[in-house]
Structure 1
Amino acid sequence: MAAAQRMVVIGANAAGMSAASQARRLKGAGDLEIVALERGGHTSYSACGIPYWIGGDVTDAGDLIARTPEQHRERDIELRLHTEVTELDPDRGRVRVRGSDPASETWLGFDHLVLATGARPLRPPLPGIDAPGVHGVQTLDDGRALLDDLEKTETARPADAPRRAVVIGAGYIGVEMAEALIRRGYRVTVLDRAEQPMTTLDPDMGRLVHEAMCRMGIETVTGATVTAVAADRDGRARAVVTEDAEHEADVVVLGLGVRPETGLARAAGLPLGDSGGLLTDLAMRVRGRENIWAGGDCAEVLDLVSGRTRHIALGTHANKHGQVIGTNIGGGYATFPGVVGTAVSKVCDLEIARTGLLESQAASAGLRFVTVTVESSSRAGYYPGAAPMHVKMLAEHRTGRLLGVQIVGREGAGKRVDIAAVALTAGMTVEQMTSLDLGYAPPFSPLWDPVLVAARKAAAQVRRAGTH
């Protein structure tokens, strides 16, 4: 009887444990040994839910955990927490592992290696950036540390005394954390060096987000270059300094985005893309390596619209990557064809969504295109609760192929982006979209849904462009 093969997983969150669980479903313990290595103390949790835990929508960190370490172990997955991999040796099929004793390292062999090392939050090397009171929000431990700090601040101050928070970065995490802190009673300032918040939108749509945040009482400063975090006599952060001003803070939150955590892969000579993420084939196998796989935030994915690879850190992709990897290691066959770049977020009651390409991305890909922006309504205008909604649409010049959609509005705006995501995946033109048979009733949409209004206008623009 042949000895069982060993599958080693580095990183025990979405991609890694999805791969391990799927492989275990397909292969018995006697056929496949699975060892998962995690340098933290938690597994299979939703990092996307951390802002809602901070804001009070989620009351217990345990609610963010999909599967505990004990549950994974019950499925015959050997899970080692607080264990760090310090070196990959692909040619000899082994990894160097450091456990709780920093002085003790051992080699662990593998037949299949899954790299699910995630992404690391950007933390610029600025004076004071590591001072107490400055927080990232990447892991559950980060969230717990921030909550503890907020509770100490709130306990130490009289209820009517102002509490101030500064968020550095106005991307998804930045605006979600701004909402969480506003809900906790803080005066919030968001600093970003871009022209407008949410650089995942075109600047004209980002301006709508900027204006709405200011109306919510969130001071939003764009074009702001942070130069330092100033500390008090005890060494704790007291303000964030930019080239033009100093913004007082009882707490500072970093929301500057992430980069693929691929230092080990780079050192081992594995192929990386322009963003530093691992490059894989459609089966999520690292290019040029038969027995090494990669998924989640450490990998780049194929953009189905532009045809290029991109780094998009989302739990939806990570879980799908893990399913594909686990299926292939378990003896089945699966592929991950790519993405169209769909994302949705909110700040207070403002919903923000995008899919496909921005203008800058379309131009970089060498595409000629037309753009339209429409203002419509979330419901029939006469129905109570109808709110304005802005939809921007990009379509390819002459062909009319849909290239991208951005939506900013109130209730019902965000998930409308799914219409466009399906159309993009199907390669539809804006003309074809105008005939989509979408659901209609006054409480849910106007007679012409805002996405279809934009498609009609874009189709007309394509026709006019074709005559010149």
Structure 2
Amino acid sequence: MSIAGGRERLVVIGGDAAGMSAASQARRLRGPGELEIVAFERGHFTSFSACGIPYWVGGQVPERDRLIARTADEHRARDIDLRMRTEVTEIDVAGQRVRARDVGSGAEYWTPYDKLVIATGARPVRPDLPGVDAPGVHGVQTLDDGQALLDTLAGTPGRRAVVVGAGYIGVEMAEALIRRGFEVTVVNRGREPMSTLDPDMGRLVHRAMEGLGITMVGDAEVTEVLTGQDGRVRAVATRDAEFPADVVILGIGVRPETALARAAGLPLGAHGGLLTDLAMRVRGQENVWAGGDCVEVLNLVSGQQQYVPLGTHANKHGQVIGTNAGGGYATFPGVVGTAVSKVCDLEIARTGLREKDARRVGLRFETVTIESTSRAGYYPGAAPMTVKMLAETRTGRLLGVQIVGREGAGKRVDIAAVALTARMTVEEMTALDLGYAPPFSPVWDPVLVAARKAASKVRSG
């Protein structure tokens, strides 16, 4: 079936990483005479790096436009009909059409499709608390959010900031605010920051953040955002205390934006994300694909579906979807759960399973934790590093690695990510031929030291 004068029409919902990667890849494979591409984006910007927003706010990235990989006009120059400030409000799967609304005029219209890509992304978790919508309270998801926060920071005479949540966004925004000269308090529901780490590794992050001048408050549930007589935020309240604030950042995380998909009857997983096959095609649909922060993915270590909203995955999803929608063939096999972050000079990395992840899927395991340095101990600038490793009991298969340290620590997690993907044992890892020179590593890289210790523990277990 073809809709547009003998041409097929590909409709894309969402103009960021997954959606526009899919549109661009499909265009590379098929010209305008064969495939019409229509993309809808409800915001003001397309193809931007949400991951870069904390660094723009903190001043390391000097201007907003550095975060835009490709503008709307650049996409249009590639024969993609990109309609900005246009929100899709309904998907009619049976009729193969979507209803869109122009945000400015409110006008609505239907657009038929032969093939559909759903790349609706994620929405920030915004708790239902008194005062959460007060001026001075900010989420950070889009470039508009980042600009609104910068405007608040510039117009606020006070220098007290409270960050609610201590995940990736929370710790990165804490750094941004420290760089802006604010006194920063991080209020976190868990005892330790970075719930993507085991608590013992999170404790290292906790101590390091306090050493950077950040006040860490754990085991604290925010109950209310308090406002002053002018209606602006003045404090964040928990059950036990109040924390004065001139600005509040919500860094509680995100959830998949799948309201459209749910209303259309498309399959969702336990985490609320769309379920797809290896080709990123929505399960049970021949001509509907989905990718980015609105989908769940297979964790290759646990064998379970997982929700991992990261730009790296979104761009890969888009490439796979665009290849398949453009008539080629590609698959996305899954992830091992690799992520890195930093707060000031502290680097935080993880891949694979945490202890509780391994227990949840019934795996028995051994753990080891080692202290090492980023360079040869005698070389100037050698910085401490802690590596924790999980290995499966009996088989010795690597299950996960977590790293906390200073310069040179974070990207070492990539060694473990490759080993996990290859299903290597810790014994096999000890023989990896990694590069060595004193400015870069000790003779035994810290990851390999952990692998040696884990292999010994597995053998003796």
Which letter does structure 2 place at the counterpart of 1:269?
A: G
Post-superposition offset of 1:102: 5.6
Describe how 1:205-216 pairs up with structure 2 within 5 A.
Answer: 205-216=201-212
**Which range moves more in the overlay, 133-142 or 439-448?**
439-448
Question: 3-state SS of the aligned residue for 2:195?
Answer: coil
Q: Which residue of 1 aligns with 2:184?
A: 188
Which digits, 9 at most, give the CA deviation of each residue in 1:286-305, with x for residues without a partner?
00000000000000111000
CA distance in 1, matches of 2:103, 2:91: 19
Question: 3-state SS of the aligned residue for 1:80?
Answer: strand
Question: 3-state SS of the aligned residue for 2:309?
Answer: coil
Q: Which residue of 1 aligns with 2:260?
A: 264
Post-superposition offset of 1:384: 1.0
Post-superposition offset of 1:310: 0.6
Matched, 1:219 2:215: yes
Which letter does structure 2 place at the counterpart of 1:169?
A: G
* Residue of structure 2 aligned with 1:174, choices 148, 155, 170: 170
Which digits, 9 at most, give the CA deviation of each residue in 1:375-428, with x for residues without a partner?
111111111111110000000010000000000000000000000000000000
CA distance in 2, matches of 1:299, 1:377: 38
CA distance in 2, matches of 1:314, 1:229: 29
Q: Which residue of 2 aligns with 1:152?
A: 155
Q: Are the equivalent residues in 1 in contact too, given 2:175–2:343 (CA < 8 A)?
A: yes
Q: Which residue of 2 aligns with 1:309?
A: 305
Post-superposition offset of 1:439: 0.6
Matched, 1:284 2:280: yes
Matched, 1:396 2:392: yes
Q: Which residue of 2 aligns with 1:27?
A: 30
Q: Which residue of 1 aligns with 2:43?
A: 40
**Which range moves more in the overlay, 435-444 or 103-112?**
103-112
Q: Are the equivalent residues in 1 in contact too, given 2:100–2:111 (CA < 8 A)?
A: yes
Question: 3-state SS of the aligned residue for 2:335?
Answer: coil
Q: Which residue of 1 aligns with 2:380?
A: 384
Q: Which residue of 2 aligns with 1:240?
A: 236
Which digits, 9 at most, give the CA deviation of each residue in 1:199-236, with x for residues without a partner?
00000000000000011100010101000000011110
Equivalent pairs counted in the alignment come to 458
Matched, 1:340 2:336: yes
Which letter does structure 2 place at the counterpart of 1:131?
A: A
CA distance in 1, matches of 2:99, 2:140: 28
Question: 3-state SS of the aligned residue for 2:413?
Answer: helix
CA distance in 2, matches of 1:102, 1:360: 50
Which letter does structure 1 place at the counterpart of 2:404?
A: V
* Residue of structure 1 aligned with 2:126, choices 111, 123, 128: 123
* Residue of structure 2 aligned with 1:461, choices 446, 453, 457: 457
CA distance in 2, matches of 1:57, 1:302: 34
Post-superposition offset of 1:359: 0.5
Q: Which residue of 2 aligns with 1:73?
A: 76
Q: Which residue of 2 aligns with 1:358?
A: 354
* Residue of structure 1 aligned with 2:59, choices 56, 60, 68: 56
CA distance in 2, matches of 1:381, 1:183: 30
Q: Are the equivalent residues in 1 in contact too, given 2:194–2:202 (CA < 8 A)?
A: yes
TM-score by length of 2: 0.98
CA distance in 2, matches of 1:195, 1:356: 22
Post-superposition offset of 1:464: 1.2
Question: 3-state SS of the aligned residue for 1:296?
Answer: coil
Which digits, 9 at most, give the CA deviation of each residue in 1:172-222, with x for residues without a partner?
000000000001110000000112100000000000000000111000101
CA distance in 1, matches of 2:379, 2:217: 36
Post-superposition offset of 1:6: 0.6
* Residue of structure 2 aligned with 1:112, choices 110, 115, 131: 115
Question: 3-state SS of the aligned residue for 2:94?
Answer: helix
Q: Which residue of 1 aligns with 2:103?
A: 100
CA distance in 1, matches of 2:128, 2:43: 24
Q: Which residue of 1 aligns with 2:142?
A: 139
* Residue of structure 1 aligned with 2:161, choices 158, 165, 177: 165
TM-score by length of 1: 0.97
CA distance in 2, matches of 1:101, 1:138: 21
CA distance in 1, matches of 2:217, 2:412: 29
Post-superposition offset of 1:96: 1.1
CA 1:103–1:445 in structure 2 vs 1: closer, same or farther (change >3 Å)?
closer
Post-superposition offset of 1:91: 1.1
Question: 3-state SS of the aligned residue for 2:260?
Answer: helix
CA 1:103–1:68 in structure 2 vs 1: closer, same or farther (change >3 Å)?
closer
Question: 3-state SS of the aligned residue for 2:293?
Answer: helix
Q: Are the equivalent residues in 1 in contact too, given 2:42–2:103 (CA < 8 A)?
A: no
Q: Are the equivalent residues in 1 in contact too, given 2:19–2:118 (CA < 8 A)?
A: yes
Post-superposition offset of 1:104: 2.6
Q: Which residue of 2 aligns with 1:420?
A: 416
Question: 3-state SS of the aligned residue for 1:297?
Answer: coil
CA distance in 1, matches of 2:258, 2:307: 12
Question: 3-state SS of the aligned residue for 1:323?
Answer: helix
Q: Which residue of 2 aligns with 1:255?
A: 251
Q: Are the equivalent residues in 1 in contact too, given 2:85–2:104 (CA < 8 A)?
A: no
Which digits, 9 at most, give the CA deviation of each residue in 1:137-160, with x for residues without a partner?
10000000000110111xxx3xxx
Can you give the 5+ residue segments of structure 2 that lack an aligned partner in the other structure? none
CA distance in 1, matches of 2:153, 2:31: 47
CA distance in 2, matches of 1:225, 1:136: 18
Question: 3-state SS of the aligned residue for 1:107?
Answer: strand
Question: 3-state SS of the aligned residue for 1:345?
Answer: strand
CA distance in 1, matches of 2:212, 2:78: 47
Which letter does structure 1 place at the counterpart of 2:147?
A: R
Can you give the 5+ residue segments of structure 1 that lack an aligned partner in the other structure? none
Post-superposition offset of 1:29: 0.3
Post-superposition offset of 1:100: 3.3
Stretches (4+) displaced over 4 A: none
CA 1:16–1:147 in structure 2 vs 1: closer, same or farther (change >3 Å)?
same
Matched, 1:406 2:409: no
Question: 3-state SS of the aligned residue for 1:298?
Answer: coil
